A and B are shown apart, each in its own frame.
Chain A
Amino acid sequence: MSATVQSSAAIAPSRRFGGMFAGNARAVIERGLRATMSSNYLVVLSGFFEPVFYLLSMGVGLGGIIGSIEVDGTSIAYGAYIAPALLAVSAMNGAIYDSTWNVFFKLNFGKLYQTMLLTSLGPLDVAIGEITLALLRGGVYAIGFLIVMNIMGLVLSPLAILAIPAVILIAAGFASIGMAFTSYMKTFQQMDWLPMVMLPMFLFSATFFPITIYPPAIQIMVECFPLWHGVEIVRMLTTGAITPMIWVHLGYYAVMLSVGVVVVARRLRALFLD
């Protein structure tokens, strides 16, 4: 008797994923890009300049006084030392802006995800789509920054081109964790915790000086935070001093990304499909 049911224009999604995934994250990304075009993309661009300003002030200004520093036995210009770290930071910033504040508004005020989940999209489509958007923003910032670095002569190795996929992975890791964090936030006050984590991480993750300066206990603490791993990856690639440790750092981000996606999808389900 069910053969009599005429089909609507929508493509009925596969039932394989228990209602979690319709294989249509593309539509979520498309909506995000359209919204960015439609609203003010100058706001999006502004986030790019923060690490550039740091590079100019610290790298050029402070670097003029410091000259070069010794890392693992090789001497390296201060600007070339901090530039890859700031590249990782720009990827992080882009991803975090998009996956925290923007997601917070869409979640609590725009009711966007609620609306998306009225359609045949599943929570995993929304999670993957929104995380991809955030990482795109991080990726765009990072590519822009890499160009600035190149112009300033701070790229020391042709391997730096590999920094592009690397920063996209870094952005993806931060985007998924950022969105997972935001999915638990209900008020503006809670969102204020974010800078409390972001600022120290930015300042102390071997961004401006090697972590060997700290006592061992603090070094281990820094090594737990994601930005340090990101800085290490990018610095290895732009300076050419690659060690097998890069696989550990890359692995860290792969885990971060996977955990984030799963948490986000589950949270969306709990929030809007329960």
Chain B
Amino acid sequence: MSFSSRLRNVAMTIGFFAVEHPSLLDYVFVSEPVIRAKNIVKKYDEFVAVDGISFEVQRGESFGLLGPNGAGKSTTMKMIAAVSTRTSGSLEVLGMDPNTDGPAIRSQLGVVPQEDNLDQELRVRENLLTYGRFFGMSRAEVATRADELLEFAQLTDRANSKVEPLSGGMKRRLTIARSLMNDPQMLLLDEPTTGLDPQARHILWDRLFRLKERGTTLVLTTHYMDEAEQLSDRIVVVDKGAIMAEGSPAQLIRQYSSREVLEVRYGSDKNASVAKKIADIGERQEILPDRILIYSDNGERDLAEITKRGHHPTTSLVRRSSLEDVFLRLTGRSLVE
């Protein structure tokens, strides 16, 4: 059989299959967004926490909301999690409206809230069991699932320990395990590694990355650019309740920043005056109180030029652009203040 006829056979088989099993093909080829937000607004009396933001999240995607504290990230998450009623705009989560179908949506979600809210009156494994029961799962089902998830969260040896003495990282892992009890279609993580030490953060990222590999849709908020870069396929940058930019980490950096950044420091009283004399170097500059950032495609060359002009910095650093620079460019402020 020739290659082309074989190909035709395959095509015919697919065509036949498509007629016989339309819904299955939809599943394979049509990607229905799991979140569809249009102009959503949340007001608390006079205060506008979220000011008309729109975005979509596809199934299996890892989506990040990046922004400083108070940008409206957590409020957005709460609206998606159907625990906060939006003031206006349209929002669809898994095809349902959170304002009216709260419990039905929540039954399909896993939520890891910002603040630690484990049940201190229960032990580690019991936290998982009771949480599963809240979703109406059977006793046998929650028992099996709890053991699997303790394994996943690397907490099997602490199963019967109390919650209070666990380290911050362990508590976070337990909270993530808990959020997976109902085998959710989508996991919402609000500032998942805030307050954790670097090692605990890396363990957590590893666990989240495994979930991502398994195809779980992740939606996370963070004010750490490295976290956003590690975990998100796509990011929206939020500030003061509105979206500033959207794209993959690499796209955002390409669009809003240069390839490299040169950081020079002359001491806080001299930075501004030196900056005036080297203003023509690089594509763009940001003068911060403690340092000058020079954006260009070749940091080393610019540093050589600055030194040639006789402005020897106390310290200097050439690095690649990050989301932090994107944020600075977009808002004129840094992420972590």
Contact = CB atoms under 8 A, between A and B. Distances in A.
Nearest to A28: B134
- Consensus secondary structure, chain A interface: loop
Given A4-B26, A117-B83, A35 B121 contact: yes
Contacts, number: 139
B322 interface: no
Chain B interface residue bracket vs A: 35 or more
Interface in B31-58: 32
B30 interface: yes
A27 interface: yes
B94 A116 contact: no
A115 B83 contact: no
Contact of B185 (A6, A13, A121): A6
Contact of B131 (A3, A39, A119): A119
Given A8-B185, A9-B137, A119 B107 contact: yes
A234 to B, nearest CB: 32
Contact of A10 (B27, B94, B100, B107): B107
A68 interface: no
A122 B103 contact: yes
A65 interface: no
Interface in A1-36: 1-13, 15, 18-19, 22, 24, 27-28, 30-31, 34-35
A35 B135 contact: no
B103 A34 contact: no
Contacts of A9: 132, 135, 137, 141, 145, 181-183
B122 interface: yes
B130 A12 contact: no
B254 to A, nearest CB: 34
Interface residues of A, number: 41
30 contacts: A3-B23, A3-B26, A4-B32, A5-B185, A6-B185, A10-B108, A10-B135, A10-B136, A11-B137, A15-B100, A15-B101, A18-B100, A22-B136, A24-B136, A30-B130, A31-B130, A34-B130, A38-B122, A110-B120, A112-B117, A118-B83, A119-B106, A119-B134, A120-B103, A120-B107, A120-B136, A121-B103, A122-B103, A272-B83, A273-B84
Interface of B: 23, 26-27, 30, 32, 81-85, 94-95, 100-104, 106-108, 111, 113, 115, 117, 119-123, 126, 129-137, 141, 145, 181-185
CB-CB nearest 7 A-B residue pairs: A10-B135, A120-B107, A35-B121, A10-B182, A119-B134, A10-B107, A9-B183
